[in-house]
Structure 1
């Protein structure tokens, strides 16, 4: 039997819902409230149900705000919204709750909601291993080596996930998140949309067995890294080691190339990601350039050449790599290849950027 609470400031509607819950064979009425603040206070003291039937339009703390606060206490609680909104508004709320009930509520519709609750409880096994997230190139989420197809409730819910991922488990202020995602809205409006988006994102992951993917603390949210294995963190660890140590291994370079499958968040276009994307690409190219220099000093010319070509596959106009490759080809007496590389670089630079290459082939 599932424990339920009801929150509705309309006494008549509250009593009708109480009657439905009491007469249900599957629900136990844990409490009913006409004031959101009183409900929240008791929840904070540990009086936790399995499901909350929650009116949206209430004075003071409205239903959407209360739902978010409830989720902050225990994100595994299911919320069923009660609303007098028309069907167009209801469509939006359906994304952010297990179900909704449109006033006046019929017995048949209430029974359908109870059935949804029963079907959900206990059917989804909580996953024990982490989701692997590679945000280089095309976004890829996998679990136990199999691609994980997340049903993003909205495009903004995916962007929110990636914005939290961008902060790598660090706390991010609610106002900052909302401001970046909805810069054209007032702060209060943006925050309210953020609350519902957080709710829908948690729900999407919970339905496939991952709980507590997002945690909160006094006005901040963060991605819970207990559930995620981020390629971004592995990349930064490798970059730090290569930057600070000349004795890095060839295996570490190979792993860096394996992790960096393309520019950061390549398949999406978020303004907040531009600078970080450019920073990561520069770090990657600089790391491979350093490794190529090391191989050159060790007279491992083939490995050095391959790394320089890897850089140029990403950015053909990266001047340091072009000049080092031409110089390396000349050093190995690959004169024809060196001239071809120089001429292709010179022509591409002129065609794409309108810039003439000032250094001559002989001076490289």
Structure 2
């Protein structure tokens, strides 16, 4: 049986909802409250599965109380009870399980309880452990991380862009989102577009039976990483680990993991202007990791492994002549002279076409000495 409380400053509404929930046989109404602050104090000391909140109350409103409850216990399910339909989108925007229009009915409560039972966070429901998985390198792909790996489809390109922007920012104000994604619209229309677009993202994630990682409170929106798997977040953590433990035992292992994650430029093909500079920064960080791994292998005498990383750098930045010199030296050292010569001529044509210059003379000299 679900443990619940009801919070509403209207005694008749409390009485009606309490009766319907009790008669359902599925809910144990532990207490009812006319004061939201008293309800919050009770919730801090007593485990609850679900809270039925009126939106418009004195002291603090239902939306503010829901945020406090979630801070205390992120698994508490919130159902808003309201006489105002205008709050419907806002309820979902705050990641509520459902909203009920007053006067509530037994039939409508039954549908709400069905939704509660289907949520993985409710005790007694088996968790299959799927997570919302997002891939942002080399495009954008969304899917459930489980055996089926079901792809998620969003409603429109704008819903994709908003989701990508939220993941990129981590935490961001509504005003910054509007300035970036809806700068040409009137403020009122822009806010409506943001709310509706956010709703469709939540809806797609909910329909896939996944925990929603997008949270909102007042003027801010943020992404909780614990509810999702994202290649960008994992890549950033690996970069940080390498920086903090350079020279450590796991350095090469972390770089290898980062290499597996970096499948291509961030959000490749999407054309998001706000992502361009950040994408270039990530590419520079990736190249730094590749060079670090290459030089570690070179110092250890592992020439083939070092060459692998230097070749990877040149695919991203073919004008790096210092890396070109290292690659040519390694081609020669492991007996691949023809590849060294062919690479030199390719580099010569590239530099002439792009910069009107010739390769570093040391590269040609290295080849001449080897041929002798």
State the TM-score, normalized to the length of structure 2: 0.65
The residue number in structure 1 matching 2:234 is 231
- Deviation, structure 1 residue 53: 1.4
Give 2:60's aligned residue: 61
CA shift in 2, pair 1:97/1:249, >3 Å: closer
> Bigger CA drift: 25-34 or 269-278?
269-278
Per the alignment, residue 347 of structure 2 pairs with 341
Secondary structure of residue in 1 paired with 2:286: helix
Of 230-239 and 271-280, more deviation after overlay is shown by 271-280
Partner of 2:289 in structure 1? 287
Q: Is the 8 A contact 1:327 1:338 kept in 2?
A: no
Cα deviation for residue 38 of structure 1 reads: 2.3
Kept in 2, the 8 Å contact 1:293–1:304? The answer is yes
Contact 2:53–2:81 at 8 Å: present in 1 too? Answer: yes
Paired position in structure 2 for 1:169: none
Secondary structure of the structure 1 residue equivalent to 2:46: coil
Distance 1:204 1:139 in 2: 17
- The equivalent residue for 2:12 is 12
3-state DSSP class of the match of 1:6? strand
Residue 336 of structure 1: CA displacement? Answer: 4.3
Aligned length: 331
Map 1:318-337 to 2 at 5 A: 318=320, 320-322=322-324, 324-325=326-327, 332=337, 334-337=340-343
Aligned 8 A contact 1:7 1:55 in 2: yes
Please state whether the residue corresponding to 2:346 is helix, strand or coil. Answer: helix
Distance 1:19 1:149, change over 3 A: same
Distance 1:150 1:39, change over 3 A: farther
Instruction: Report the alpha carbon displacement of residue 324 of structure 1 after superposing the two structures with TM.
Output: 4.9
Q: Identify the range of structure 1 (267-276 vs 314-323) with the bigger mean alpha-carbon deviation.
A: 267-276
1:51 and 1:253 map into 2 onto residues whose CA distance is 44
Indicate the residue corresponding to 2:88 in structure 1.
90
| Mapping for residues 162-241 of structure 1, pairs under 5 Å | 163-164=169-170, 181=177, 208=210, 223=224, 231-232=234-235, 233-238=237-242
| 1:1-364 to 2 correspondences below 5 Å | 1-44=1-44, 46-86=45-85, 90-91=88-89, 93-94=91-92, 96-120=95-119, 121-122=122-123, 124-126=125-127, 136-137=137-138, 138=140, 143=145, 147=149, 156=162, 159-161=165-167, 163-164=169-170, 181=177, 208=210, 223=224, 231-232=234-235, 233-238=237-242, 244=247, 254-264=256-266, 266=268, 277-293=279-295, 303-318=305-320, 320-322=322-324, 324-325=326-327, 332=337, 334-347=340-353, 349=354, 356-359=355-358, 362=361, 364=363
Deviation, 1:181, is 4.6
Q: For structure 1, which runs of at least 5 residues remain unmatched after alignment? A: 165-171, 350-355
TM-score norm. by structure 1 comes to 0.66
- Secondary structure of 2:78's counterpart equals strand
Do 1:150 and 1:205's aligned partners in 2 also have CA atoms closer than 8 Å?
no
Alpha carbon RMSD of aligned pairs, Å?
5.0
Counterparts in 2 of 1:68 and 1:204: CA distance versus 1, 3 Å: farther
Go from structure 1 to structure 2 and tell me whether the alpha carbon gap of 1:82 and 1:240 turns closer, same or farther (over 3 Å shift).
same
Distance of aligned partners of 1:68 and 1:158 in 2 relative to their CA distance in 1, 3 Å threshold? farther
Q: Which stretches in structure 2 are left out of the alignment for 5+ residues?
A: 364-372
**Farther-moved stretch of structure 1 (8-17 vs 287-296):** 287-296
Kept in 2, the 8 Å contact 1:82–1:101? The answer is yes
Compared with structure 1, are the counterparts of its residues 253 and 320 closer, same or farther at alpha carbon in structure 2 (3 Å cutoff)? same
Q: 1:134 to 1:276 in 2, by over 3 A?
A: same
Tell which deviates more after alignment, 332-341 or 266-275. 266-275
Kindly indicate whether the alpha-carbon contact (under 8 Å) linking 1:4 and 1:30 is maintained by their aligned counterparts in 2: yes
Quote the Cα distance in structure 2 between the aligned partners of 1:284 and 1:236. 12
Q: Determine if contact 2:132/2:142 at 8 Å carries over to the other structure.
A: no
Q: Give the CA deviation at 1:343.
A: 0.5
| Preserved contact between residue 117 and residue 125 of structure 2 (Cα < 8 Å) | no
1:38–1:277: structure 2 CA closer, same or farther, 3 Å change rule?
Answer: same
- Cα deviation, residue 17, structure 1: 1.8
Given that residues 81 and 101 in structure 1 are in contact (C-alpha distance below 8 angstroms), is that contact kept between their aligned partners in structure 2? yes
Deviation at 1:231, TM superposition (A): 3.1
Report the CA distance shift for 1:81/1:144 in structure 2 as closer, same or farther (over 3 A): closer
User: CA 1:158–1:296 in structure 2 vs 1: closer, same or farther (change >3 Å)?
Assistant: closer
